[in-house]
Amino acid sequence: DAGVIQSPRHEVTEMGQEVTLRCKPISGHDYLFWYRQTMMRGLELLIYFNNNVPIDDSGMPEDRFSAKMPNASFSTLKIQPSEPRDSAVYFCASSAVSGSGLYEQYFGPGTRLTVT
Amino acid sequence: KQEVTQIPAALSVPEGENLVLNCSFTDSAIYNLQWFRQDPGKGLTSLLLIQSSQREQTSGRLNASLDKSSGRSTLYIAASQPGDSATYLCAVRPRMDSSYKLIFGSGTRLLVRP
């Protein structure tokens, strides 16, 4: 498997523009997570899905952020309008519970977002 | 509220030295604890996962221990190499609400000098 795939890898945009980040989870994984990493706040969970349904979005900072998972192989995180303080690295991760009950998250390479 | 702390924030050691990274968490009600490695500009790579019922896990030169009652985990790296230089993060999965979320520490940045 190719692992978790994210696109784009880098995004530079101007304040006020809409930004869409994309994620393809590992095939067969039924959990998908969106994280944001900054120097000041570290790695924070924004939202996660189970079987395409949002389970916990308590980490989404404000209404400018929205996430969707239209099917098991694709998810988007949208910021509209973007602001300079949204500049960060956004990670997508996926997981599945193994037969032995283990649960392990696998991360994508991240999207580095810069809002000027 | 579960909080995860990693000390020290940065560590520099000469090649060949054995070292220990520390992770502490405030609430012992966890399902598991996971150690990750992050190279600059890259994503996170899972190193070891310890279930709450386990005391330790080993993979090659890495050994992770878990003392749930005291809220502590350590990652032991034997015979360190320059290639081990990276940021190491620990994360716990809280038992609260049967959640599948992970709570991360801020990481320890390790430099192994040749």
Mean pLDDT (chain B) is 93
Q: Which two tokens stand for residue A29?
A: 């994984």
Instruction: Grade residue B95 by pLDDT with cuts at 50, 70 and 90.
Output: confident
Interface of A with B in 5-34 (CB under 8 A): 31, 33
Mind listing the pLDDT tens digit for each residue in B52-89? Answer: 999 999 999 999 999 999 999 999 999 999 999 999 99
The mean pLDDT value for A38-48 works out to 92
The mean pLDDT value for B108-114 works out to 97
Chain B residues closer than 8 Å to A104 by CB: 34, 46, 49
Could you tell me which chain A residue has the CA closest to the CA of B89? A43
- A55 shares contact with chain B (CB less than 8 Å): yes
Instruction: Grade residue B15 by pLDDT with cuts at 50, 70 and 90.
Output: very high
Contact state of B102 with A45 under an 8 Å Cβ cutoff: yes
Task: Select the residue from A43, A44, A112 to test the B interface by mutation, using most B Cβ atoms within 10 A.
Answer: A43
Mind listing the pLDDT tens digit for each residue in A53-108? Answer: 999 999 998 899 999 999 999 999 999 999 999 999 999 999 987 666 667 889 99
CA distance A95 to chain B (A): 9
- B33 shares contact with chain A (CB less than 8 Å): no
pLDDT: is A91 or A42 the higher one?
Answer: A91
